[in-house]
Structures are given as structure tokens and as C-alpha cells.
């Protein structure tokens, strides 16, 4: 087979960019054997090196691994306007400007690929776009942030406090020195916005995603959860609800039989549910230079072969903000007769019933920990507000959602 050159311009030479350069060098022969085209680097842009226009001119495809919104958005748009394919790992950009960018890709008949933007090397974008392209997806649950999954796994494994587990994660390179986007849930929210857009064919912006982080979780939550048969994860959910969709990220307890319950450490996993297939779970390393570069190179290879594009949205589904959930409720109470009965009554007035309960301690140090059957979140929080005002409640009640489904 005669071999032509396929020129790849690289924007960004940090963790992912540098790993991509190395991988491209190692795998060029293999890519040439598969595609008949030999990929070659046509230029590298950083803040101190390279010229965008020259790189663009010399490239068939642009890889964007700068991160952030600007100037990444401007470069990606200009590349597509010039008729070049683009591969990006940039979830923040796609979750805020995805529709504009996908429309530009369609208009200029180029490919915009972004497998590395969600769950690192786990091929969830490809599966949603291609393998399940015709499936009616009802729900996606995902562990899409490796930093928080590592921290929660460490807290569960060692009983460490959140701050200590975060320090360990930073030392081992699983968390950045400024971990705020990860631990606040914002990074996961951006990824869930992208997955929801693809799964439901409706516009979803990062601002549509409610998110909550893991900073407030304590070793006690882990301990009690363990007794109740639960494990704690930061879960992203995108689901159809009442003719609309809900996309959210929050810590959630899972029973041991859930496919995501055993995903530990810096790994990511995504469960896709659809009536025709029950559920499919994909898991693997969610971040890291070489891993992310591998997803980027996979997209480059795909772009070298057949055309593909993200189609326009076909629905405009409303975003639903009040959804049903089961809850874990942690109360510090004075140990007096009738405490559980009063809590149960306030919950009952909002239609909540208790599924299981653990009671520990004596005197003013008693703990009442329970799992409540699913109900609308607004009703549950209304009950918790009233419970927090009872005179025997010693500290602000803590509530964490519980995902009840188990698959076998």
C-alpha cells in the first residue's frame, strides 16, 4: 500500500500533549499499517513556542490539549473553518460551547472528536455515538472523576479524614495542587453535560447540571454506610424524568451489587441503561498523560478513516430539577426516649419511610443513621429542615443520596 503523510498539529504540550508526542512517535508505524497514512507532527503550540496560523496551514488535523475555554475555543473554531479535523480532550470547552462547535464541524464537513474529554481512555463517547447510536438511553450513571474516586476509596479503605486522603492523592499525583474543580464536582458535571447531550440528543450546558462535591464527607459516614451495606462514590447521573431530563453530580451511596460499587481508586466507570440492553458498564483509567494521550490518538486514527460527526440535537427537553432519590440521613442526637419516633413522624409527614436504621452511642453523643426509601428530593429536604430544628438534634443533619438499584 502506498503511504501518504497525515499532518497533525498539536496545541498544548503539557501532561497530555507531551505524552501524545511520545505515543505518536511509538505508534506511527502501526497507524500507518492500519490507515495507509503516516501521521507526522506538523508543529507544537505552547505559550512560548509555535505560531498557530503556521501550524494550521501545515496540518490535516489539529489536536487541542490546551484546556480552558479561551483561546482553545477560538483555535478549534478557526481550525474547523479552515477545513481541518479537530481532536480535543477539553470537557470544559465542550460542556459550555459544544453546540457552537458541533454546528461548525457539520457546517465545514470536518470531524470534531472528543473521546478523551470524558472518562479518559474509557471509550464511552464512541459507544454512545456508534454502538448504542440507535438505542433509547434512559439513564447514565458515571464515576467520571478519578481524583474524587481515589479520595473516597482511601477514606473507605483506611478510615482517613477527607483532608488526609486529599493530601495522599496530591502526593501520588492523582490530584492537582488546586483540586477545586475535581472535589467540588464541577469537572464531573462538565463530563455529565457532554454525556447527557449525546445520550438524549438535546442541548445540555454545564449550567444545567446541579453538582455537589465531596469536601463535607466524614469517616463516620463511611463507617455507618459500611454497616448498612453501602459504599460511597461521587456519582454523575443523567436520566429521563417526567418528559424532561435531569443531570446532576453528587456523592451517593451504592449497595454492593451495583456495577459501580466495586470501581475503586483513580478508575472511572460509566453505566448506560436502555430497555433493549438492560445495562452496559465500561470502566478503565480516567486520567493520566499516557492514558489520555491514547484516547486522543484513537480519535486521530478514527478521523483518518471514515467521516463521522455529532448530529444536531433533535429534542429540546426541559431540565427537571426535583427528582426522586433514596437517602442516607445522619443525625447527632441526645439519647432520649421517643427520638426515633419523632424523626420518623416528620419524615412520614413528607411521605418518607425508613428502610433501615443504625443507632449508636449514649447520652448527648448518640448517633441515629438511617436509609430512607425514595421520595422527591424537595420533600425529603423539607423534612430534614424540620428535623434539624428539633431540640434533641445536636448538629446539622447530614444527608447523602443512595442509589438503590442493583443489577445481577
Ligand X SMILES: NC(=O)c1ccc[n+]([C@@H]2O[C@H](COP(=O)([O-])OP(=O)(O)OC[C@H]3O[C@@H](n4cnc5c(N)ncnc54)[C@H](OP(=O)(O)O)[C@@H]3O)[C@@H](O)[C@H]2O)c1
Residues annotated as catalytic are: 191
- Distance CA(9)–CA(73), nearest Å, equals 16
Q: Is 399 in contact with 224 (CB distance < 8 Å)?
A: no
Residue placing its CB nearer to ligand X in the complex, 111 or 145: 145
Burial zone of 305 (CB within 10 Å; 0-12 exposed, 13-18 middle, 19+ buried): exposed
Nearest approach, Cβ of 76 to ligand X (angstroms)? Answer: 11
Nearest approach, Cβ of 116 to ligand X (angstroms)? Answer: 5
Q: What residues are paired with 43 via a beta bridge?
A: 9
Kindly state the cell numbers that stand for 346.
416528620
Residue placing its CB nearer to ligand X in the complex, 263 or 347: 263
Residue placing its CB nearer to ligand X in the complex, 182 or 332: 182
Q: What residues are paired with 333 via a beta bridge?
A: 366, 393
The vertex-191 CA angle with 189 and 27, nearest 5°, equals 155
- Distance CA(274)–CA(390), nearest Å, equals 43
Nearest approach, Cβ of 9 to ligand X (angstroms)? Answer: 12
Q: Is 65 in contact with 163 (CB distance < 8 Å)?
A: no
Nearest approach, Cβ of 329 to ligand X (angstroms)? Answer: 35
- Distance CA(271)–CA(122), nearest Å, equals 12
Give how far Cα 18 sits from Cα of 23, 75, 256, 296, Å: 9, 19, 39, 12
- Distance CA(403)–CA(254), nearest Å, equals 5
Provide the binding-site residues for ligand X, judged by CB under 6 A. Answer: 12-17, 45-48, 65-67, 71, 89-91, 116, 120, 287-288, 292
Kindly state the cell numbers that stand for 171.
502526593
Q: Do β-strands 139-143 and 267-274 pair in parallel, antiparallel, or remain unpaired?
A: antiparallel
Kindly state the cell numbers that stand for 258.
451495583
Residue placing its CB nearer to ligand X in the complex, 295 or 402: 295
Q: Which residue is nearest to ligand X (CB)?
A: 14
Nearest approach, Cβ of 67 to ligand X (angstroms)? Answer: 3
Residue placing its CB nearer to ligand X in the complex, 120 or 259: 120
The vertex-14 CA angle with 12 and 19, nearest 5°, equals 100
Residue placing its CB nearer to ligand X in the complex, 209 or 383: 209
Nearest approach, Cβ of 252 to ligand X (angstroms)? Answer: 23
Amino acid at each position: 500500500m502506498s503511504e501518504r503523510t497525515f499532518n497533525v498539529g498539536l496545541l498544548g504540550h503539557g501532561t497530555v500533549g507531551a505524552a501524545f508526542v511520545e505515543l505518536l512517535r511509538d505508534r506511527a508505524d502501526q497507524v500507518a499499517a492500519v490507515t495507509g497514512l503516516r501521521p507526522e507532527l506538523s508543529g507544537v503550540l505552547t505559550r512560548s513556542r509555535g505560531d498557530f496560523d503556521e501550524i494550521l496551514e501545515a496540518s490535516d488535523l489539529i489536536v487541542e490539549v490546551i484546556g480552558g475555554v479561551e483561546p482553545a475555543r477560538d483555535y478549534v473554531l478557526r481550525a474547523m473553518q479552515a477545513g481541518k479535523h479537530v481532536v480535543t480532550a477539553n470537557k470544559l470547552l465542550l460542556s459550555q460551547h459544544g453546540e457552537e462547535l458541533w454546528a461548525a464541524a457539520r457546517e465545514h464537513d470536518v470531524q470534531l472528536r472528543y473521546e478523551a474529554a470524558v472518562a479518559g481512555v474509557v471509550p464511552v463517547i464512541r459507544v454512545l455515538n456508534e454502538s448504542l447510536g440507535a438505542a433509547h438511553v434512559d439513564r447514565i450513571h458515571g464515576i467520571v472523576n478519578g481524583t474524587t474516586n481515589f479520595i473516597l476509596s482511601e477514606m473507605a479503605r483506611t478510615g482517613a479524614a477527607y483532608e488526609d486522603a486529599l493530601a495522599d492523592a496530591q502526593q501520588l499525583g492523582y490530584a492537582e495542587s488546586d483540586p477545586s474543580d475535581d472535589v467540588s464536582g464541577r469537572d464531573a458535571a462538565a463530563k455529565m453535560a457532554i454525556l447527557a447531550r449525546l445520550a438524549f440528543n438535546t442541548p445540555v450546558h454545564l449550567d444545567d447540571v446541579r453538582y455537589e462535591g465531596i469536601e463535607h464527607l466524614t469517616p463516620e459516614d463511611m463507617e455507618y454506610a459500611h454497616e448498612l451495606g453501602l459504599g460511597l462514590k461521587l456519582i454523575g447521573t443523567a436520566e429521563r424524568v417526567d418528559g424532561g431530563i435531569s443531570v446532576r453530580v453528587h456523592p451517593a451511596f451504592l449497595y454492593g451489587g451495583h456495577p459501580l460499587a466495586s470501581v475503586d481508586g483513580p478508575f472511572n466507570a460509566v453505566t448506560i441503561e436502555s430497555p433493549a440492553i438492560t445495562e452496559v458498564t465500561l470502566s478503565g483509567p480516567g486520567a493520566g498523560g499516557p492514558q489520555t494521550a491514547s484516547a486522543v490518538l484513537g480519535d486521530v486514527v478514527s478521523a483518518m478513516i471514515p467521516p463521522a460527526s455529532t448530529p444536531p440535537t433533535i429534542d429540546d427537553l426541559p431540565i427537571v430539577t426535583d427528582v426522586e432519590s433514596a437517602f442516607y440521613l445522619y443525625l447527632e442526637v441526645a439519647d432520649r426516649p421517643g427520638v426515633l419516633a419523632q424523626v420518623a413522624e416528620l419524615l412520614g409527614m413528607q411521605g418518607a419511610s425508613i428502610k433501615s436504621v443504625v443507632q449508636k452511642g449514649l447520652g448527648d453523643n448518640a448517633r441515629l443513621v438511617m436509609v430512607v426509601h425514595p421520595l422527591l428530593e424537595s420533600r425529603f429536604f423539607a423534612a430534614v429542615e424540620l428535623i434539624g430544628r428539633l431540640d434533641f438534634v445536636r448538629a446539622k443533619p447530614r444527608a447523602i443520596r443512595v442509589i438503590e438499584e442493583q443489577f445481577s
